[in-house]
């Protein structure tokens, strides 16, 4: 889970990029970085922290140029360091020459890295993005390929999810894996500046009107001559006819004001809510309460379909960030209270339909349920806006090992008991597919284990 951005053409490319990264901050809050070219040199700045903390006016002034490649990174264990932060830059005798930011995970990272190291290519991180940019630089420098050829070689050799923005000192390239696993959208603003990002809400803030998906296996080259969309037949790189869009972007990751793969996120979520309500015919309750913010629109949909009034009974503290203040012995575990609280007196005696987007380990929802019960709720009916998660993701979502997933450790009944609710229902797979316009174009591997690409 990360967010990427690319800008071409604006003399304040760094500033535009920072603005855009801020709009996709929810995709990665651990660290962020920007590489900016002024046509002669690529300047780089990256740091742990949020966009608005890292990219101050002072820092932005050190990043002159009209081409920008940026990245926001999601916290993952062990590797949350500045070294692993993207973009990665390749320096040569001719100066800082190539930079790349990517979203998605590779499935044959180890194989490709070993191959490049055998050719003496140097790595200073364990990050996928570095592998991608070093691979391209090696094709360009050591194999004398041009950039488009180098990217085509990459698409043949490297397997996995990758939505990439790559720049040389004078050009910006965007390209995307043949399955289009992670989102990637681009367009031009009124000035003709080109913008590419992970979510459409970034294009909103940057006032970009015309927008398109970067096509599967497509390469888009942007330079002084304009924009050239280089279509590749994705079939030559993959073994199936359809895309493998990540369905979890709709369920959880993306902002509700974004659209992906031809669908509005908020509408998919409202539809999920409606489907959940349909599964619940006859349930009597006083209110539908979402776990904010990801389940808000699911609750809206549930309420609309069921007629049970929507209540914002859980309040989320938005100042929560990377770090929890961890109380020690003397105070009992209130970490969930740092993030959520209940309205005073609201739940007393109520029958509640509680809607959440998914269950991973099940620890947070258990604490939320306990809090609502302490607040006096009479019944809690938990509804989950996705099927049970039984498989890990290899393409960029930070799901735990299979054995840690609640759905693999316990039966539905056991989960219900552990969480402490009166009833528990997941969205079934068919209903989920009915919420999508092109259900065959999505990857559901975390639910059904049908991986479009195996881990090598």
In the complex, what is the shortest distance from the CB of residue 413 to a copy of itself, in angstroms, rounded to a whole number? 31
Task: Give CA 442 to chain center in angstroms.
Answer: 15
In the complex, what is the shortest distance from the CB of residue 408 to a copy of itself, in angstroms, rounded to a whole number? 33
Nearer to a copy of itself, 41 or 80 (CB): 41
Nearer to a copy of itself, 11 or 400 (CB): 11
Signed CA dihedral, 84, 195, 61, 51: sign only: negative
In the complex, what is the shortest distance from the CB of residue 429 to a copy of itself, in angstroms, rounded to a whole number? 26
Q: DSSP class of residue 362?
A: -
Nearer to a copy of itself, 29 or 212 (CB): 29
Query: In the chain, helix, strand, coil percent, each to 5?
Result: 30, 25, 45
In the complex, what is the shortest distance from the CB of residue 169 to a copy of itself, in angstroms, rounded to a whole number? 10
Q: 326 near 335, Cβ under 8 Å?
A: yes
Residue with structure tokens 């020459």? 97
Rounded distance, CA 192 to CA 219, Å? Answer: 19
Hey, how many other C-beta atoms are within 10 angstroms of the C-beta on 236? 11
Catalytic residue among 2, 167, 443, 446: 2
Q: 377 near 383, Cβ under 8 Å?
A: no
Nearer to a copy of itself, 125 or 399 (CB): 125
Q: Residue 241 burial (CB < 10 Å; 0-12/13-18/19+)?
A: exposed
Q: Residue 238 burial (CB < 10 Å; 0-12/13-18/19+)?
A: buried
**The two three-digit tokens of residue 191, written as one number:** 């000035």
Nearer to a copy of itself, 71 or 255 (CB): 255
List, in order, residues 6 or more apart from 267 with CB less than 8 Å away. Answer: none
In the complex, what is the shortest distance from the CB of residue 270 to a copy of itself, in angstroms, rounded to a whole number? 10
Nearer to a copy of itself, 29 or 108 (CB): 29
393 an active-site residue? no
Q: 372 near 345, Cβ under 8 Å?
A: no
| Relative orientation angle of helices 412-419 and 363-374, to the nearest 10 degrees | 50
| Cα dist from 184 to 5, 211, 328, whole Å | 9, 10, 43
Nearer to a copy of itself, 25 or 364 (CB): 25
User: Beta strand 340-342 with 314-316: parallel, antiparallel or unpaired?
Assistant: antiparallel
In the complex, what is the shortest distance from the CB of residue 85 to a copy of itself, in angstroms, rounded to a whole number? 18
In the complex, what is the shortest distance from the CB of residue 300 to a copy of itself, in angstroms, rounded to a whole number? 7
Active-site residues: which are they? 2
């Amino acid at each position: 889970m990360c967010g990427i951005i690319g800008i071409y053409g604006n003399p304040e490319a760094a500033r535009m990029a920072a603005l855009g990264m801020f709009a996709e901050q929810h995709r990665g809050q651990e660290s962020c970085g920007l590489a900016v070219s002024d046509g002669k040199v690529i300047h780089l700045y990256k740091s742990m922290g949020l966009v608005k903390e890292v990219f101050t006016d002072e820092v932005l002034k050190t990043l002159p140029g009209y081409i920008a490649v940026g990245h926001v990174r999601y916290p993952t264990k062990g590797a949350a360091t500045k070294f692993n932060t993207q973009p990665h830059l390749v320096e040569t005798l001719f100066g800082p020459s190539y930079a790349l930011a990517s979203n998605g995970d590779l499935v044959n990272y180890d194989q490709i890295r070993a191959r490049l190291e055998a050719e003496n290519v140097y790595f200073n991180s364990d990050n996928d993005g570095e592998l991608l940019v070093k691979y391209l630089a090696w094709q360009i420098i050591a194999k004398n390929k041009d950039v488009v050829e180098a990217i085509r070689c990459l698409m043949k050799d490297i397997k996995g999810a990758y939505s990439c923005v790559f720049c040389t000192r004078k050009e910006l390239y965007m390209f995307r894996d043949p399955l289009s696993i992670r989102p990637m959208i681009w367009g031009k603003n009124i000035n003709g500046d080109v913008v590419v990002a992970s979510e459409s809400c970034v294009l909103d803030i940057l006032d970009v009107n015309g927008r398109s998906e970067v096509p599967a296996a497509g390469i888009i080259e942007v330079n002084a001559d304009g924009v050239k969309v280089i279509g590749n037949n994705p079939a030559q790189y993959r073994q199936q006819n359809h895309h493998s869009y990540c369905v979890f972007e709709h369920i959880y990751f993306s902002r509700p004001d974004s659209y992906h793969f031809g669908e509005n996120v908020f509408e998919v979520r409202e539809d999920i809510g409606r489907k959940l309500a349909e599964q619940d015919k006859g349930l009597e309750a006083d209110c539908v309460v979402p776990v904010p913010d990801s389940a808000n629109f699911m609750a809206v949909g549930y309420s609309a379909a069921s007629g049970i009034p929507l209540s914002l009974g859980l309040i989320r503290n938005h100042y929560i960030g990377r770090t929890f203040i961890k109380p020690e012995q003397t105070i009992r575990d209130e970490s969930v209270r740092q993030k959520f609280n209940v309205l005073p007196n609201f739940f007393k005696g109520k029958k509640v339909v509680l809607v959440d987007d998914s269950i991973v380990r099940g620890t947070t929802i258990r604490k939320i349920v306990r809090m609502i019960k302490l607040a006096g709720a009479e019944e809690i009916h938990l509804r989950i806006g996705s099927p049970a998660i039984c498989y890990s993701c290899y393409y960029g979502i930070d799901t735990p090992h299979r054995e840690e997933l609640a759905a693999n450790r316990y039966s539905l009944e056991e989960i219900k008991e552990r969480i402490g609710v009166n009833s528990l229902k997941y969205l079934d797979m068919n209903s989920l597919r009915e919420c999508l316009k092109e259900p065959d174009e999505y990857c559901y591997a975390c639910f059904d284990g049908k991986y479009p690409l195996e881990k090598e």
